[in-house]
Structure 1
């Protein structure tokens, strides 16, 4: 069963548009945080750490690495600051065993994912507005 699920994920990634890939990264990070919170509540320290590490990897090596500040300007810079903030909060959540910090990052990721998903199919000018509002409001946090 796991092999079929893995194969389905591989096919989804291979056939996804760049826009969809970013959405999938948000989704993966959120899922990893949800799992980390469950592991935290069950006292499964190693599994909690692995899930938080997975979320951090997705944010760092996927979302943060995909930013191009030379093209994205202020929006990309704000997202960069936000992703770096999320990484710090996730590290603190792991060290302090703090589920509220996991919730904080999950909310940020859900908001960004919602804004990102809303812009699919719009022009670049129309598309930047909802993501920029989300990133600026959280970059100030």
Structure 2
């Protein structure tokens, strides 16, 4: 398939921007990027399901599962995080199970459920990363 040079340039620019974001991000920002990617994957999966694009739905659900399992869950420090890390691991496992079921059943309601479960955790993560009043950014 032919890709116009302008589109190739735009895609390369996007890839460099994403790579730079990761290379220069703090550990907190990396988790923030994982949450952002997860929200995008869930939204994309729901859109693909609504359009009847089952291939794209499957790709996006698998992307969400990998972000949960290999990114967010793998990044938990259960020794220092204690009970909170254990509860987050349980939440991520539950979301992975639900996403697997959503994929098998083509169930948009389950995708919405997972998005609703992740949203407050992602928002809370963003909040703790913001400087307090009087602190430098």
TM-score normalised by structure 2 residue count: 0.86
Deviating 4+ runs (over 3 angstroms): none
1:83 aligns to what?
92
Which position in structure 2 is the counterpart of 1:136? none
Count of residues in Structure 1 that have an aligned counterpart in Structure 2: 123
1:103, distance to aligned residue in structure 2 (A) = 0.8
Q: After superposition, where does 1:1-141 map in structure 2 within 5 Å?
A: 1-120=10-129
Cα RMSD after superposing both structures: 1.3
Output one character per residue of 1:93-141: Cα deviation in whole Å (capped at 9) or x when no partner: 1011110111111122221111011111579xxxxxxxxxxxxxxxxxx
CA distances 1:6-34 after superposition (whole Å, capped 9, x unpaired): 11000001111100110110110110111
**Equivalent-residue separation in structure 2 for 1:89 and 1:3 (angstroms):** 34
Instruction: Return 5+ residue gaps in structure 1 as ranges.
Output: 124-141
TM-score when scaled to structure 1?
A: 0.84
Give the whole-Å Cα distance in 2 for the aligned partners of 1:16 and 1:118.
17
SS in 1 for 2:129: coil
Relative to structure 2, which stretch is displaced further, 52-61 or 101-110?
101-110
